[in-house]
Amino acid sequence: MEIAIRTPLIHSLPLSQHSGCNVWLKMESAQPTGSFKLRSAGNICRHYAAQGAKGFICSSGGNAGIAVAHSGRKLGLPVTVVVPETTSARARQLIEQEGARLIVHGKVWREANDYALSLASQDHIYIHPFDNPLLWDGISTLVDEVISEGLRPDAVILSVGGGSLLSGIAQGLEKYQLSHIPIYAVETEGTASLNAALKAGTRVSLDRVSGIATTLAASQVCENAFDVARRTDVRGMIVTDEEAVNACRRFLDDHRVLTEPACGVSLSLLYDGKISVKPEDNVLVIVCGGASVTLGSLQGWL
């Protein structure tokens, strides 16, 4: 059973004209749950279901929990999702709408994750929101789709939270001998665990995470993403909450698509001219989505 779908790859005329290069958008916001997380969740849940799993337990800041809940519903298996207090009311509603049991525990994701681990059993499998090779395998199919449409990008722009998107995209690029191209890995000032790790030369855990991009709020990036960043041309970038939200607003005007600030961080690199490009460059932006964003929430952030 296929759970994630093939998403559109579109050429953005507004962003191309604004940036002075060819900008391509991989529209993961078009997934049934509204974010790229369905690729990873669908792949890992399908794998364990085939091995006889009776249900799934996961922790999430929002998007991963919605994706696991959806995957469990499609597979006919029960799901329990543990979220921290920072998870929005809309994300909680969507998790429950998928039929999952919702538990709110802890002030930050790490506390929610510890509790989720305590609920797992041999039959009810714990699903990590970003740190498992099966997750990265699912995400790497995004690159398969891009290549199959004839695009070999000169650079990729993506958002970083726990690091599953970076891990999966890097894996996909390696498959097509594209590991040499730059990946711009973008975080907000309050969630920059990858940038902190690159600066320190080792993985570090942030004392606190803050800001409106709550789905990026992992205090420590996964080890694989850090290893990818050290061995390939990953360029850590940091933007403000304001820049991320303004990019969401401009993208809504340009493409009639509503995204969350965790996605706006990537778009802001182009809207705010933060990277140097050549006219002939093909720049791929992963529009990672945002399952729980609403027009009301965007207006509130603005």
* Same fold yes or no, 9-36+133-301 and 37-127: yes
Helices (H), the chain: 13-19, 37-50, 63-75, 89-97, 109-119, 133-148, 164-175, 193-200, 223-231, 241-255, 261-271, 295-301
Where does 37-127 sit in CATH, by number? 3.40.50.1100
Kindly list the domain boundaries of the chain, sorted by start residue: 9-36+133-301, 37-127
Q: Which residue has the higher pLDDT, 267 or 190?
A: 267
Q: Return the pLDDT at 292.
A: 79
Written as one letter, the residue type at 104 is: V
The verdict on pTM exceeding 0.85 is: yes
Q: How does pLDDT run across 217-244, given as a tens digit for each residue?
A: 778 889 999 999 999 999 999 999 999 9
Q: How does pLDDT run across 16-72, given as a tens digit for each residue?
A: 999 999 999 999 999 999 999 999 999 999 999 999 999 999 998 889 999 999 999
Q: Which residue has the higher pLDDT, 286 or 214?
A: 286
Structure tokens at 258: 């509503």
CATH of region 9-36+133-301, choose from 3.40.120.10, 3.40.47.10, 3.40.50.1100, 3.40.50.300: 3.40.50.1100
